[in-house]
Amino acid sequence: MTDYQQLYETSAVNTGGRDGVSYLADGTYEVKITTPKDMGGSGEGQNPEQLFALGYGACFHGALELVKGKHKVKNASQVLHTVRLYKKPDAADFKLEVEIQVGIQDFDREETQKLADEAHTVCPYSKAVAGNIDVFVKAVDYDASQEK
């Protein structure tokens, strides 16, 4: 990491694992963590996969915005991260998979795919999971109904 300059650092604490609480050490954010209902939990909070999807999605979209700027693309974009949790039958062995769908308004899929692939090489989350998690990046049509 000697070629990099540190820009930011944060720390988070978890107590209780998948049925507990996670919070930022500086006290600015706290979230109840629960196992999803379809996995036998209460589902009355968030789970690590949801939080990973939120964080990775925001980071990836930031990388996409940087890449769009480099290519002088000003069209609106959206990123959907789907995180899947898998378990090996009869073993305490789990893995994640991520599908990233990228849409750019009034942009064709082939050009969108090129920008999405480039963003994938820039995104720190993508770099962190490379070789450890199967990640699929796919261009899709921009869906204006998803705007908030």
Q: What one-character-per-residue DSSP string does 31-74 give?
A: EEE---GGGTS--SSB-HHHHHHHHHHHHHHHHHHHHHHHTT--
The pLDDT of residue 148 = 77
The pLDDT of residue 40 = 87
The pLDDT of residue 147 = 80
The pLDDT of residue 117 = 98
The pLDDT of residue 33 = 95
The pLDDT of residue 1 = 62
For each of the domains in the chain, give its residue range(s) and CATH number, in order of start.
Answer: 1-46 (2.20.25.10), 48-146 (3.30.300.20)
d(CA 45, CA 19): 9
Ordered per-residue pLDDT tens for the chain, 148 residues: 679 889 899 999 999 999 999 999 999 999 999 999 888 888 899 999 999 999 999 999 999 999 999 999 999 999 999 999 999 999 999 999 999 999 999 999 999 999 999 999 999 999 999 999 999 999 999 998 888 7
- What is the pairing mode between strands 94-104 and 134-139? parallel
The pLDDT of residue 2 = 77
